[in-house]
Structures are given as C-alpha cells and as structure tokens.
Amino acid sequence: MAKAIVHAANMGATVINISDVTCMSARNIIEQRSLGAAVRYAAVDKNVVIVAAAGDSSKRDCKQNPTSNPLHPNDPRNWGAVNTVVTPSWFSDYVLTVGAVDADGHPLSQGGQGQASTSIAGPWVGIAAPGNDVIGLSPRDDGLINAIDGPDNSLLVPTGTSFSAAIVSGVAALVRAKYPRLTSTQIVNRLTRTARAPARGVDNQVGFGVVDPVAALTWDVPDGPPKPPSQLSIPLNIPKAAPPRDMVPVWVAAGGLTGALLIGGAVFGVSILMKRRSKQQ
C-alpha cells in the first residue's frame, strides 16, 4: 500500500481514496514506518487529501473499540483503551478517516437500531458518511444499481465504511475544485468544520460529524493551518548532570582534623612522660 500511495501522489493525484484497510491488535502492531512515511509524503510533500475507511467489524481482526470513558477526562478520545488499530486510518494527522452512518445519521449497525455498530470506532475517526442504501453505477450497462450479484442467485447490498470513504473522497474532490488554493490539510479542516456534529461535538464513531457537501462548498470557514503538526513528539528536556562534588574542603577539613589529632596525641604523650619522670625523681 505504501508504494501505491507514493505512486499515486507522484502521478499527480489530489485525492486518494483508501477503502480497503487493515485491522490489527493494539498489542501486536506490525511494522508501520514505511506506510507512515508514505502517507506523510503524500499529504505534506505532495499536498494530497488522503481519505480512508474506518473499517468494518465483519472483517478479520476488526474488533470494536470502546467509544469514550468519562472517567478519563484527560483522554477525551480514549486513546488509552484502543484494542484494535486500523491502518492507515490511525495516521490521523495525515489521513481523514471516515466512519459509516445509516440514513438517520446513527452509526451503522448490522441489525438496525439497538445493535452494536459495525463501523469500527477509534480516536482517529474524523468524519462520517452514509454507509448503506448506496446507489452506484452498474458494471453491466449505463444504469444504476443498489445491489450486486451474490452466491446462489442472491443479491448483496453494498454497505460499510468503504462506501462512506468514497462519498467523502468525492466531496473532497469537489472542495478542491472550488478552493484550489487550499492545501490538503485545509481541505480536511473545511470538511470537518462543516460536518453535522454529534451531541458531544466529536466522538470516536462519527468523528466531527456527518459530511455536509453543501456546507463544505459554501460556508465561510477559516482556512486553518496549511500543514499538519511538523513535530508529533517533543524531545525530552533532560536536566544537566550535577557538577562533581568539590572535595577540596573535605580534604582540608580531614587534614586539619588529622593534624589536630596528631598534635593532641603528641601533647598527651609528652605530658604522660613528664609525669612519670617527676614521680621517679
């Protein structure tokens, strides 16, 4: 995937859609440096908007993450409780991750209301878009379809975050066309600032809210910083080592004490000898 991202960026892509993501346990994360470098190269050096799916619980190793924990106010997006990492979605400084919602704007679930969400939650989720009732182009003719052929003459209804990501990618392309001077980071800022926010303002299922194409194209929104944070970690300010102890005063004091003891011993010895001589006389 890293090679594909770099190749697309080098070919002049301005929006890259990644609907096929990988889940892994937070306790056993595979090596990610090359992929992280690729998304940063595309987003920062090549000014590409990268949109990725949040992942679906029906996929292998995609176990649902907890949404939030009010007992940890210093970790509002609950990074500390993440048990499933979705890549490249978790590179949230360079990737806009998309969760899936239903027609009512609720997190997409398999069995409707009251069921567990199938869209993988995570602190990296930045926005959401419809993930069901998707209508697309037919591979057979020029018509539209809302289902595809399945096994045993069945029909499969396309659902999931893969389609949500594609919708956001389309909106991102429209915004880039209308605001060509904006950088990729500023495009993401416009998309998230104009999204229909959830009750908490931001959460781990829908991010900053459901994408609003009209608002993204028409609202007056501050551009925001042109690039993501250039430094994702802060070097430790290690205090300077204490200077070595000055031992001169110690040695002077020890020498003085030793001299005093020697003088005292000599005086004591002389006085004893004088007393003995006086007794002998």
The pLDDT value given to residue 238:
64
Distance CA 178, CA 157 (A): 33
Any idea what DSSP says for residue 14?
S
The pLDDT value given to residue 235:
62
Task: Tell me the residue ranges of DSSP E strands in the chain.
Answer: 15-18, 22-25, 49-53, 84-87, 95-101, 125-130, 136-137, 144-145, 148-149, 155-156
Q: Give 24-80 pLDDT, tens digit per residue.
A: 999 988 888 999 999 999 999 999 999 999 999 988 889 999 888 888 888 888 899
Flag residues of the chain having pLDDT under 70: 110-116, 231-239, 279-281
Q: Give the CB-side neighbour count of residue 112, counting CA atoms within 13 A.
A: 0
Residue 52, SS3 per DSSP:
strand
The pLDDT value given to residue 236:
58
The pLDDT value given to residue 234:
60
Q: Give the dihedral of Cα atoms 174, 22, 122, 107; nearest 10 deg.
A: 70
In degrees rounded to 5, what are phi and psi of residue 35? -70, -40
The pLDDT value given to residue 280:
64
Choose among 131, 135, 91, 96: nearest CA to 16. Answer: 96
